[in-house]
Amino acid sequence: MKVTLFGSGYVGLVTAACLAEAGNDVVCVDVDQRKVEMLGRGEVPIHEPGLEPIVRRNLAAGRLTFTRDAALGVAHGVFQLIAVGTPPDEDGSADLRHVLAVARTIGEHMSEYKLVIVKSTVPVGTGDRVRTTLRSSLAHRGVVIEHDTVANPEFLKEGAAIADFMKPDRIVVGVDNERAAELMRALYEPFTRNHDRLLVMDVRSAELTKYAANAMLATRISFMNELANLAEEVGADIESVRHGIGSDPRIGYAFIYPGIGYGGSCFPKDVKALVRSAAEAGCGTAILEAVEEVNERQKRRLFAKIAAHFGDLAGRTIAVWGLAFKPNTDDMREAASRVLLESLWAAGASVRAYDPAAMPEARRIYGKRAGLELCLSAAGALEGADALAIVTDWPEFRSPDFRSIRLALREPVIFDGRNLYDPAQMAREGFRYHAVGRGLPGPRASNPPTELRPSADDRMRA
């Protein structure tokens, strides 16, 4: 099939690459000339495991093309996918300017039937606005051309996006007629052969489903973080509590890992946008507002622990392991690391930081800033540091050489925002260990039964 994608950001690029991998002829349109040239050489500007080989393979096969020529893109495919950004506006609502601009462009250039598919995360009612924009563009040209609009939100996890697309747990499709539904079934047929995972519904329900899914997951994270804070105050161990509630099949283990708050491009933006949409509809969102408030407070918790331990931080140096908002990505949008770094600098401290993937992104954000040294390794970040703060649970941080850490630090103290270690072991190793919601050092909670242990995809930490 011939497919056109507008937007070569995270969602657009993964979608384009995976559709091409399934044998489709895909053209990806973007306004950024530098990005188009980079992608045309097979250079992927984001860190996503497995993506670059797919891009290069399909470029070589001629199934994937990148261009700035919107007219060429519109002429190319019956399927016109919109995957441009919807950044939060000042009031928290989703900014739809780019989505509607693409709809306008499609209307200006189309000469035959098109199926316009909105993959961008958008508020309820956006499909109507896209349809109106298309009709207005066609009316301005004085032509009438058949078209349909579809809501097809993405459910890709950063760090596991290829597997999520190739083997989806569900594909949500919002349509208003059977023709559009059949075309969407044909497009996704290669990804649903073993089991039909296509969920067909009306457009508005599909739009709300995306926001509802992210808001539900964010709620679980904030709820667990609030329980972790309570556990600290009453002397309980949140890890034992987590095992206790996760073993209940009605709850499960996914997204109940306490930590220092969620970040990234989706949860913060989507919770804010859903709150704003509800306000516009005259509905209260007390739970969602609390979710957001708890998350913002939780991001400051690691700094509060550091400040409480040292008192005056002026002249102190803190080693920071992890800058990305979660492992297997270089994304630092809304990351807890940024709150910690900026709080440390404001208190007069310096930072020696390391991240396996996000160092270039940190350089882009902060440049050559005084008080920040980006180190080549986790061990290098420890040199001359007063303490270690763990922000992202990258696998390489899970089983370090504790003796080397203790010898490298000026003080044997670790502030663990991801609960990677056992407090009892840390005590034996001679560390003062500050985690999230961990009680006094004691026997480690027993592992959950094998059949109930969370999968790697489920182990997304707060």
The predicted structure's pLDDT at residue 439: 66
Catalytic option among 18, 28, 266, 375: 266
Q: How confident is the model at residue 92, as a pLDDT?
A: 79
| Ranges in the chain, pLDDT < 70 | 439-462
User: 351 forms bridges with which residues in the sheet?
Assistant: 318, 372
Task: In whole angstroms, give the CA distance from residue 207 to residue 209.
Answer: 6
| CA atoms lying within 13 Å on the CB side of residue 131 | 14
DSSP, collapsed to helix, strand or coil, labels residue 448 as coil
408 neighbors 321 (Cβ within 8 angstroms): no
Number of residues that this document lists for the chain: 462
Structure tokens, 154: 């993405």
pTM, 2 dp = 0.89
Residue 462 is predicted with a pLDDT of 44
* C-alpha of 460 from chain center: 10
Residue with tokens 């979660």: 326
Classify 67 as helix, strand or coil: strand
**348/249 Cα distance (integer angstroms):** 47
The two structure tokens encoding residue 246: 């996760």
Distance CA 221, CA 291 (A): 8
With vertex at residue 185, the alpha carbon angle to CA 180 and CA 189, rounded to the nearest 5 degrees, is 155
Provide the β-strand partners of residue 148.
Answer: 115
Tell me the C-alpha distance between 103 and 106, whole Å: 5
pLDDT value at residue 193: 86
* Residue 18 among the catalytic residues: no
List the one residue out of 233, 237, 226 whose CA is nearest residue 424: 237
Please give the Cα distance from 130 to 152 (Å, whole number): 13
pLDDT value for 196: 82
Residue at token pair 């000469």:
111
DSSP-assigned letter for residue 88: B
Smallest Cα–Cα separation from 445: which of 193, 233, 236? 236
Find the DSSP H helices in 28-160. Answer: 33-40, 51-61, 70-76, 97-109, 126-141
